[in-house]
Amino acid sequence: MEKQNVKPADGKLGIMVVGLGAVTSTFFTGVLMARKGLAKPVGSMTQYDKIRVGKGADKKYLSYYDIVPLAKLQDIEFAAWDVYPADAYRSAMYAEVLKEKDIEPVRDELEKIVPMKAAFDKNFAKRLDGDNVKDCKTRWEMVEQLREDIRNFKKEHNCSRIVVAWAASTEIYVPVNNEVHGTLAALEKAMKDNDTVHVAPSMCYAYAALAEGAPFIMGAPNTTVDIPAMWELAEKMHLPIAGKDFKTGQTLVKSGFAPIIGTRCLGLSGWFSTNILGNRDGLVLDEPDNFKTKEVSKLSTLESILVEDNQPDLYKNYFHKVRINYYPPRNDNKEGWDNIDIFGWMNYPMQIKINFLCRDSILAAPLLLDLCLLTDLAARAGRYGIQRFLSFFLKSPMHDYTKGEVPVNHLFQQYTMLKNALREMGGYEADEEID
């Protein structure tokens, strides 16, 4: 069948990432090593997953590349912004996620990725104190300087398309304020008036990206693109937006395991989740205002899978708690513990314990690759606004809360949404309807 009006992935794709810490340096290094045939992009759906298309005698299982025109790893150019001036090689070495032997073969390429000055406001991440920062008098000036960065990079590296992704620290919690965030005009006015309370630096990156024709991906739980003003801009520019918060460790487990409890019609009394983490992310999240942003994101997953109104006998008033503890000895090797109190036949109690000793950036890097490639694909397919089919990769999938929409957090329903979007863009029939 013919591809559905999806423009080909001609030319180079520029991937510009906010934050050149552990996640981004691991992502850049892995892609560059994979291009040389020196590493495998394990964990990346776009590089490994196969989807059934067609039914009966026409049934076949194809990789994403055989269904839709995705950008190839060889065609990617990288850039980053960061508050610290270290290039991608030094950042990768400093992060200590990868061994030296897995970084050295691409040292020359990594050293050329020198971070641009970040649009930064210390009030939004008090634990960070880098000096590679733009001098901006207003939030609007931040936007203008970031737009210039995007234009310059695109021109210098001869990119035909750009995707911008946030892989920087979690900002302090910014509640949605309808007077500022409700319309594009109101947001632009707030930026020009330098409203530093309601306009987070991340909003300036998102605005700049969209204004320059680049899709934007929010990889932290910040209130950035999940506001009506940004939806308006994305629709005006006919660009996709995706977010929020990469679903890597504990929440991945939760979105996959909660359906077991729900599908089996077992009851839930409580779910206690705690994490120990020692990288820069952990340091920033040690600040209560920043943790609040993350907590809201992590708490939302369970409540839309095990819903009290649907099954009051099973899910009435269960206790859900999430904790993140900064613990430097672990560095990037995050540990997530889940204690789940369930009950079964005649209300008899049982327990489940899950201990996930994961590596944060090893899980996040392939996710970032997939989101960038699939968002670029969505843009070429003419899809714009919130990309619900990317919920699979995100902790707090974006949704239109102004209309009472409930996000899909059930991992296997999210996977069906992803497969159906790819089938449709590839000119195949969508199936496996979600109830």
Return the pLDDT at 1: 44
Which tokens belong to 171?
A: 């900002």
Answer yes or no: is 430 within a domain.
no
Q: What is the number of domains present in the chain?
A: 2
CATH classification at residue 255:
3.30.360.10
Return the pLDDT at 431: 87
Instruction: Say which residue, 228 or 330, is predicted with more confidence.
Output: 228
pTM above 0.75, yes or no: yes
Answer yes or no: is 181 within a domain.
yes
321 bridge partner residues: 272
Return the pLDDT at 277: 85
Ramachandran angles phi, psi of 118, nearest 5°: -85, 150
Task: List pLDDT tens digits, range 345-372.
Answer: 999 999 999 999 999 999 999 999 999 9
Between the alpha carbon of residue 380 and those of residues 42, 48, 299, 352, the distances in Å are: 26, 22, 34, 44
272 lies in the same domain as 320? yes
349 lies in the same domain as 417? no
Between the alpha carbon of residue 289 and those of residues 229, 268, 276, 285, 322, the distances in Å are: 24, 29, 18, 8, 15
Evaluated on CA atoms 9, 64, 163, 29, the torsion sign reads negative
Pair type for strands 216-218 and 159-166: parallel
330 lies in the same domain as 394? no
212 lies in the same domain as 273? no
- Among residues 357, 373, 394, the one where a domain terminates is 357
Answer yes or no: is 305 within a domain.
yes
- Among residues 317, 340, 357, the one where a domain terminates is 357
Residue 435 predicted with pLDDT over 70? no
150 lies in the same domain as 197? yes
Instruction: Say which residue, 295 or 226, is predicted with more confidence.
Output: 226
Tell me the three-class secondary structure of 83-135, residue by residue.
CCCCCHHHHHHHHCCCCHHHCHHHHHHHHCCCCEEECCCHHHCCCCCCCCECC
Amino acid at 239: L
In the block, tokens 């969505």 appear at 378
Task: List pLDDT tens digits, range 388-397.
Answer: 999 999 999 9
Alpha carbons within 13 angstroms on the beta-carbon side of residue 375 total 34
Answer yes or no: is 431 within a domain.
no
Calpha distance 220→246 (Å, rounded):
7
Evaluated on CA atoms 141, 397, 227, 321, the torsion sign reads negative
SS3 label, residue 407? coil
Answer yes or no: is 275 within a domain.
yes
Calculate mean pLDDT across residues 373-396.
97
Calpha distance 393→217 (Å, rounded):
11
CATH classification at residue 48:
3.40.50.720
189 lies in the same domain as 254? no
28 lies in the same domain as 166? yes
179 lies in the same domain as 282? no
Answer yes or no: is 228 within a domain.
yes
Answer yes or no: are the C-beta atoms of 300 and 405 closer than 8 Å.
Answer: no
Return the pLDDT at 367: 97
Task: List pLDDT tens digits, range 15-69.
Answer: 999 999 999 999 999 999 999 999 999 999 999 999 999 888 989 999 999 999 9
342 lies in the same domain as 390? no
- Among residues 325, 341, 357, the one where a domain terminates is 357
351 lies in the same domain as 371? no
Answer yes or no: is 299 within a domain.
yes
Calculate mean pLDDT across residues 146-159.
98
Rounded (5°) CA angle 364-368-374: 140
Residue 308 predicted with pLDDT over 50? yes
Rounded percentage of the chain residues whose pLDDT exceeds 70: 98
> Is residue 297 very low, low, confident or very high in pLDDT (cuts 50, 70, 90)?
low
191 lies in the same domain as 113? yes
> Domain range spanning residue 102?
12-246+361-425
240 lies in the same domain as 333? no
> Is residue 2 very low, low, confident or very high in pLDDT (cuts 50, 70, 90)?
very low
